[in-house]
Amino acid sequence: MNKKIYLLYILLASMIIYPYSSFAIVYALPKNNNRLVGENIEIFTPKNNIRSLEYFSAQFQVGISNMLEANPDVDVYLPDSEKKLIIPHKLILPNKPHSGIVINNAEMRLYYYPKKNDTVIVLPIAIGTIEHATPSQWITSIKQKKKNPIWIPTKSMHDEYMKHGKILPTIFPAGPNNPMGSYALYLGKYYAIHGTNSNFGIGLRVTRGCIRLRPQDIEYLFNIVPIGTKVQFINEPIKSTIETNGMQYLEVHNPLSCNNKKGNNHTTESVTKYLTKKIQSILADHDPNIDYNIVKQALQDRSGIPINITRKQKYNNSTFQINKQTTCNLDL
């Protein structure tokens, strides 16, 4: 059941009692290979609200995309006063080994599993644009850690800016004007997990392929992740789990597009068709324990929140038809 609280109360209480590091979302790993963790929170924006959605997202350690999926009718620039917002803290852990760092591009979350510690730390991230996509099937490791990194734009970056009549500096020294922020975890020559000097963009596709975190989050991660930590990139817009109590859950996010052509509008219908095809490798066609009407609704809503898809015994089982011969035309 969701917890209903008023925003001002929780913000004031948390600022008084806890240091920032306590804001990192840390979940105890569930027992017996269960993967459902956390609880959603319901908050209300204050009267005469003047804050953007990013403000509320940052306070509760979620990204803009997660907030918009859970609250599709909210104004990203200025949510209505006394507006109810769902904070999506309930989630399904990726179906990957609980070790090192797992980055799921589709949900724009970073999962860190500290060694010999039955917990997982979850942080919201920004990823690469369509033109500069973050790798989605890649296993690497933390090669180097650097406080106060410098940034040296590549020739292609200089050329790109020149096309728009702008000139990039040859080097960005450490400081407030450095887009990498104050901390960087290098994954190789071209990619890093780093901070930012911007107060917006976490939960969006805004980088040149690197993983971007809010300044406090990268500082927190920098201080606890050792060099050599494995980092695995995945792209899973759909996650599912069967818990030991027999309940089955489905978590559906909007899939990432890889096509930015003008006029290529991804309708709800086309995205649903794409996800329906994708889900055939996750759920059986005729599982008597699944309510496929709920599955269909979850694919349409794409709330990014785990939904219980277990069929209640009193219901008649409906059939979820998946045409395995149909080709998905959605260019993602």
Chunked into runs of 10 residues, the chain (332 residues) has average pLDDT values of 47 37 80 96 97 96 97 97 98 97 98 95 96 94 95 82 84 86 93 92 94 96 97 97 96 86 60 83 83 93 96 55 33 34
Q: Check: CB of residue 94 under 8 Å from CB of residue 104.
A: yes
CA distances from 259 to 107, 134, 253 (A): 18, 14, 18
User: Can you identify the CATH homologous superfamily of domain 3-234?
Assistant: L,D-transpeptidase catalytic domain-like (2.40.440.10)
The catalytically annotated residue of 210, 253, 266, 286 is 210
The catalytically annotated residue of 158, 194, 253, 258 is 194
Cβ within 8 Å of residue 211, ≥6 positions away = 103, 110, 125, 126, 127, 134, 191, 192, 193, 194
pLDDT of residue 217: 96
The encoded tokens of residue 183 equal 């901390």
pLDDT of residue 329: 28
pLDDT of residue 101: 98
pLDDT of residue 265: 53
* In the chain, alpha helices (H): 7-17, 53-59, 64-70, 155-163, 215-224, 268-279, 292-301
Q: Find, among 108, 100, 155, the residue nearest to 134 by Cα.
A: 108
User: Which strand (E) or helix (H) includes residue 31?
Assistant: none
Q: Check: CB of residue 238 under 8 Å from CB of residue 278.
A: yes
Partners of 249 in beta bridges: 241, 308
SS3 (DSSP) at 100: strand
pLDDT of residue 328: 28
The encoded tokens of residue 80 equal 């209505």
The encoded tokens of residue 215 equal 């300044």
Count other C-beta atoms under 10 Å from residue 76's C-beta: 14
Q: Find, among 233, 330, 234, 318, the residue nearest to 278 by Cα.
A: 330
Question: Residues of 229-238 as b/e, b for ≥16 C-beta within 10 angstroms?
Answer: bebbbbbbbb
Partners of 138 in beta bridges: 233
DSSP 36-86: EE---EEEEPPTT----HHHHHHHTT--HHHHHHH-TTS-SSSPPTT-EEE
Report pTM: 0.86
What are the boundaries of each domain within the chain?
A: 3-234, 238-308
Q: Check: CB of residue 61 under 8 Å from CB of residue 24.
A: yes
SS3 (DSSP) at 297: helix
194: annotated active-site residue: yes
158: annotated active-site residue: no
Place of tokens 């909210």: 74
